[in-house]
Homo-oligomer: A and B are copies of this chain.
């Protein structure tokens, strides 16, 4: 099971870079999801990460395909109202594309359109989606039965949820507040890393 850290757009470029560099060896990927930052800030962040030894292969850029192309970042994550998978794949087939989905049908469509992975959510109750009912784990079972591409789960994934997620064979978990809102992101990431490894 892989571990993807998803940034929460709450820190300065400098703070965020330090945090990611600090957890880089415990995570498989970091999704840069900084919707209020300018293109220049995101470019600076990526430069800091590279200087800090974070490999480009570990970086996933949310929404901004242009910055991915200019900085040679191999993977973009397309939000639900973002660019379409088909357009991206048609113009830039070398770019890996992930897609947020909220149902089994959504995941099927994403795979058919050429997505390289899906990020399914939100699984459990989470502070970042307070008013929305979670979609639960059931769709993951269907996805794992019918999809060839990896399925990641997101939304309220605390340490005690990991065992159940492993049982439905999810390929990875994505964690935002569990890491970036934690009192100690390094310690918290290490706990996720150990839980995944030894569960």
Contact = CB atoms under 8 A, between A and B. Distances in A.
One complex includes copies of this chain to the number of 2
Contacts of A64: 66
Contact of A69 (B40, B43, B63, B66): B66
A83 interface: yes
A147 interface: no
A21 interface: no
A91 interface: yes
Contact of A63 (B39, B43, B88, B91): B39
A130 interface: no
B91 A41 contact: no
Interface in A48-77: 63-67, 69-70
A43 B83 CA distance: 8
A32 B142 CA distance: 42
Contact of A81 (B40, B66, B67, B88): B40
B41 A70 contact: no
B81 A41 contact: yes
19 contacts: A38-B79, A38-B82, A39-B81, A39-B82, A39-B83, A40-B81, A40-B84, A41-B81, A43-B83, A43-B84, A43-B87, A65-B69, A66-B66, A66-B69, A67-B83, A69-B91, A70-B83, A70-B87, A70-B88
Interface of A: 38-41, 43, 63-67, 69-70, 79, 81-84, 87-88, 91
Given A65-B69, A70-B88, 12 more contacts: A38-B79, A38-B82, A39-B63, A39-B81, A39-B82, A39-B83, A40-B81, A43-B83, A43-B84, A43-B87, A64-B66, A66-B69
